[in-house]
Amino acid sequence: MKTLVVGDLHLKQQFVLPRIDGMLAGDAEIGRVVFLGDACDDWGANEADELNAMEFYAKWVREHRGRGMRIDVLLGNHDFCYVRGKRGPGSIMSIMRNLRTILEDALQAKVACAVGPYLCSHAGVTGVWAKRFLPDASADASADASAIAQRLNEMLADSSHWGDLDSCPPSRGGWSLPGPLWADLRDMLDDALPGVPQIVGHSPVERVENYASGWMTAGRDPLWACDTMSLMSYGAPIGDGSMLLVDEPGAMDGSTGLCGSCDSGTPGELCGLDVSNGADDAAETLEAYAVPFPGEGTFAEACKRYWEAR
């Protein structure tokens, strides 16, 4: 099964999701889509922009889940402001309750998930944050992405941990440790949790890129950065709208709940990979690669129409 990982949407659901539909129709092996958070908020957005995009998103997710596709919606720092009921950058306070209902009830958003050996979260888990808030994981060199994701989602379920999740570092204007909703790509390049390959959004990049592939980062755990759809304040795109496609030979099939390689019913089992228990080896075995913005025309052209319509 293949998993499509999509970076920060920031209210672009109404022109991005139909293009993803075309991609799904053209590749029957894609059985799962992971959204890396920050579905909410964009420069200059008003109440109508916000609600229309998020209601469209909820409807799309509900329909695809109803067809048996696995859809994982993760929370970004913008989204979490609506869950917490706390003003943040771009928050529209008058519709806070509306968006919290959409995020929690319709989208069933969470903090993290695993795609094979990869830990997916909005901004990434740093070593210093894990040492304080996930001491078992930071001390265990064989920490499993699924187990860490479960721990993060358990923190979401307990409001006493919301401040820990929402920890904002100096690199993003805060005074706290770089947490999984706020860590900048610079924080991740300096101090990503060792031994755990990760896929993140949050930090705008020109294209989907693996920061463990260059000669300067030899030996680094794989780190894919996927925030390619964010805009400058005047509407110019920063990235090219590309997405990440991960081919998981032993992934659980979204419709049957069975392993795609051996029909085992054991969740999280990486069957058919023929690798050791090392996450690095598993990540290198899986095929993960950037795919261009789907459909006709460029992401920049689509953004121009989106910006002019608003």
pLDDT tens by residue, 217-240: 556 789 999 999 999 999 999 999
pLDDT tens by residue, 69-110: 999 999 999 999 999 999 999 999 999 999 999 999 999 999
Residue 275 has pLDDT above 90, yes or no: no
What pLDDT does 135 receive? 87
Mean pLDDT of the 149-167 span: 97
Q: Is residue 116 a contact partner of residue 144, using CB atoms and an 8 Å limit? A: no
Mean pLDDT of the chain: 88
Cα atoms in the Cβ-side hemisphere of radius 13 Å centred on 112? 30
Inter-axis angle of helices 13-26 and 47-66, nearest 10: 20
**pTM higher than 0.95, yes or no?**
no
* DSSP code string of 23-42: HHHH-TTEEEEEE-S--S--
What pLDDT does 263 receive? 38
Residue 207 has pLDDT above 80, yes or no: yes
Mean pLDDT of the 124-144 span: 84
| 237 bridge partner residues | 231
